[in-house]
Structure 1
């Protein structure tokens, strides 16, 4: 893997190289996975919609206490990718695999995500061919592989789960980019990074530091995740601001002393609330320049 290139400024730039279970519904399976593994769905997004949560987080977000205080501007924005900068397509990968091997979506999700192989893959510790071999062995027991089946087809199915970029959020990040460093805080494996929306289109141009889980060797849900992430961006917790669509990750960041915002969705209300919470978390209003949401323009 090629190390990050150095630029004229002090910032580092993004490197663009490169058990059986009871039968449950898909959402129940993912919920069980959260409970026992303390991890998120692939690409860092909730499978039951943006910002799925049984309780609403505070609007004022201050690392640790949750009390409203005067905050200094953050130096680093730690941004999730899947669910904040790019839409995750719930059920896409497991749905395609279920059709290819004539099994239930729930069973496909079991094989794909409920294994130590998947966790090691997202941590960058298991090569893609080895993860494919594991999944191929599990699926091929159930049915004869379809015509054309192989690692290339699996790659196509896998990458398709990460959808279009969320342009309004990217617009906000571009407005903030001259004032702070923007780093990835996402559970992303190398294949989705290289061939999906993460490397392509606009995301790579917004990120200053590509601190994805496969580069860190840790993923959100790991006890040392935020320690590794802060070490990668070389800033203390109080100088960072974390944005994620999964409330459990937001709460974990706050416990680590990091200011954190729960992104509730890419609709106009969610975007307006995101900007409001960024300001409440210490981002100066003037940093946004002329960046406005449609709701603000028509108000």
Structure 2
């Protein structure tokens, strides 16, 4: 029997720019003069694992990279731009989360995030008020698909692995959850969470 549903954030609950759903960096070069592929190569490829697992701070790591590739842009300015444009909430998912909670299920977010965006999601987008818990990689010290991420959640919820259901748009994360004994569904197209829970079984 499912006791808790763990919902991924990016790609499931949050889907790009509020106005059109495009990736947050779609107009980055036009707006801030930073080529997305350069930012990917110089920052995300080299530093993101340390940042998203809490081993390095986002601003402290981003600042020297921007000093090289975009000296006129501060890390604070880029983060404000990024977070505001990576904030489209899927209302149907929020509605289904509310329904599942009313039906007695624990619903939590389970996401690879660093501390600043996790706070933005929780407070500015008010996601903390929609779920029972928010598990994210920088706070845990491990990211999906690392098994330590899943084991941390099991311990915190005090639930057996078979009672947990992950809904995630990344197949590697889904496969890792299944290997950990969880139930898991690969989110490829928008669906109703209530239907997924019903289909997955009690």
* Band of TM-score, shorter chain: 0.7 to 0.9
CA distance in 1, matches of 2:29, 2:65: 10
CA distance in 2, matches of 1:255, 1:217: 20
Pairing 1:55-66 to 2, within 5 Å after superposition: none
Hey, what does 2:32 align to over in structure 1? 100
Of Structure 1 and Structure 2, which has the larger fraction of its residues in helix? 2
Hey, what does 1:259 align to over in structure 2? 183
* Contiguous gaps of at least 5 residues in structure 1: 1-71, 284-299
Hey, what does 1:109 align to over in structure 2? 40
1:108 shift after superposition = 2.1
Hey, what does 1:212 align to over in structure 2? 136
CA distance in 2, matches of 1:224, 1:265: 28
Q: CA RMSD in A?
A: 2.3
* Structure 1 residue 129 corresponds to structure 2 residue 53: no
| Local SS of the residue matching 1:92 | coil
How many aligned residue pairs are there?
197
CA distance in 1, matches of 2:57, 2:176: 28
Higher-Rg member (1/2):
1
- Normalised by the length of structure 1, the TM-score is 0.59
- Could you list the structure 1 runs, at least 4 aligned residues long, displaced by more than 6 angstroms after superposition: none
CA distance in 1, matches of 2:26, 2:88: 18
* Structure 1 residue 85 corresponds to structure 2 residue 85: no
CA distance in 1, matches of 2:124, 2:101: 19
Q: For residues 102 and 75 of structure 1, do their structure 2 counterparts lie closer, same or farther at Cα, with a shift above 3 Å needed?
A: closer
Whether contact under 8 Å (2:13, 2:89) holds in the other structure is yes
* Contiguous gaps of at least 5 residues in structure 2: none
Whether contact under 8 Å (1:182, 1:208) holds in the other structure is yes
